[in-house]
Amino acid sequence: MTDDTTGGTTRRTLLATGAAGLAAGATLAAGSAQAQEGQANGPLAGRSALVTGAARGIGRAIALEMARGGADVIALDVAADIDGWSVPMATPDELEAVRAEIEALGVSCATVRADIRDRQAMRDGLREASGSVAPVGVVVANAGIAGNQPFLDTADDEWEANWDLITDVNVKGTANTIRAAGPTLVANGGGAIIVTSSTFGRQGNGTNPAYVASKWALQGLVKAAAIEFGPQGVTVNAIAPTAVRTGLSGPQTEEQRAEGNAWLNENYHPMDIGLLEPEDIAPSAVYLATEAARLVTGATIDVAAGANARYTA
Ligand SMILES: NC(=O)c1ccc[n+]([C@@H]2O[C@H](COP(=O)([O-])OP(=O)(O)OC[C@H]3O[C@@H](n4cnc5c(N)ncnc54)[C@H](O)[C@@H]3O)[C@@H](O)[C@H]2O)c1
């Protein structure tokens, strides 16, 4: 299928035919025997999904769900602690474990260890990884960090350090991901970019202004990118999860978790649920990558158990 408006191979082509619609892509996909055997009929077969922050949490769940949909996966993660940040990041072992889980689903997986703040490292990693998987048709800019630093209760040096790190990783890192991988999507004939935002990118919160500001910035980034990439057959959307059980805020005791769950259930979620699981978020990302969402762009899907029903719009 060819899009009459551009006369070229577009996302529609890629979604409808997979890599078979692209000469170069067909070669790569043919090399991926597991993909052909395992998930050949999945909606994402013949394409790769680049997922950042894939070693654990929401990124891991999205990477696995993309694989279940038939996509090869490029699982990118810093997989090392970040200087000046007290929350432990994922480990190389966790990244390797995700690779094994994905390959067990019958598709190919390449891992990249890179910090999304380093655009060149991302470009290099993507180029290297591209040799062993199907052409990239999906980019999930998911990696992010979060921390509390209220205006009135944070020393200046801590404020400065947190502000810089959170905005660098969440805003610049996400923009880097789009800059590093966007041209590949265009060259491959189109695709989907999916950004992990947050309900805090849609409303305020009194304890973490840098995180809130960074996630609101992503909403703007998604809309700007949707307009720029639209003519190239690339959709750009966000997912806005509510609170999810991950390592984002660092280790928690069972008691802290239980308290958080109760608070969410009573005060935030109209639906009868506390913390969501990463697996609750992943299917929305897959939807945005499929043909069914080909005309959905510049949008945000709230996966928030109805917390989003409290937004004004
Ligand atoms: N957990 C939640 O409650 C929640 C809610 C809404 C949105 N989110 C968003 O979901 C995304 C994923 O978070 P999570 O909850 O799965 O957290 P997580 O800490 O469990 O996972 C984040 C992953 O990203 C990696 N990472 C962090 N900084 C990186 C960098 N600079 N370069 C490359 N990799 C990096 C980490 O190593 C880790 O594997 C984030 O953007 C977060 O803001 C999370």
Q: What is the 3-state secondary structure (H, E, C) of 211-235?
A: HHHHHHHHHHHHHHHHHHHHHHCEE
- pLDDT attached to residue 6: 33
pLDDT of 55-84, one tens digit each? 999 999 999 999 999 999 999 999 999 999
CATH code of the domain containing 141: 3.40.50.720
- pLDDT attached to residue 8: 34
Does 11 reside within a domain?
no
Spatial contact of 57 and 89, defined as CB atoms under 8 Å apart: no
Does 77 reside within a domain?
yes
Which residue ranges of the chain lie beneath pLDDT 70?
1-39
Return d(Cα 199, Cα 264) in angstroms, integer.
Answer: 13
Dihedral sign, CA of 8, 231, 13, 98?
positive
Instruction: State whether the beta carbon of 300 lies less than 6 angstroms from ligand 1.
Output: no
Does 272 reside within a domain?
yes
Burial of 176 from C-beta contacts in 10 A (0-12 / 13-18 / 19+): buried
Does 2 reside within a domain?
no
Distance 104 CA to ligand 1 centre (A): 24
What the block records as the tokens of 208 is: 């973490």
Does 13 reside within a domain?
no
Distance 37 CA to ligand 1 centre (A): 32
Distance 142 CA to ligand 1 centre (A): 6
211 an active-site residue?
yes
- pLDDT attached to residue 41: 81
- pLDDT attached to residue 12: 37
Its domain, for residue 261, covers 23-307
Instruction: State whether the beta carbon of 78 lies less than 6 angstroms from ligand 1.
Output: yes
Instruction: Count up the domains in the chain and report the number.
Output: 1
What the block records as the tokens of 309 is: 């029903």
Pocket test for ligand 1, best of 145, 177, 218, 222 (most atoms within 8 A of CB): 145
Return d(Cα 177, Cα 172) in angstroms, integer.
Answer: 9
- pLDDT attached to residue 165: 98
pTM score = 0.90
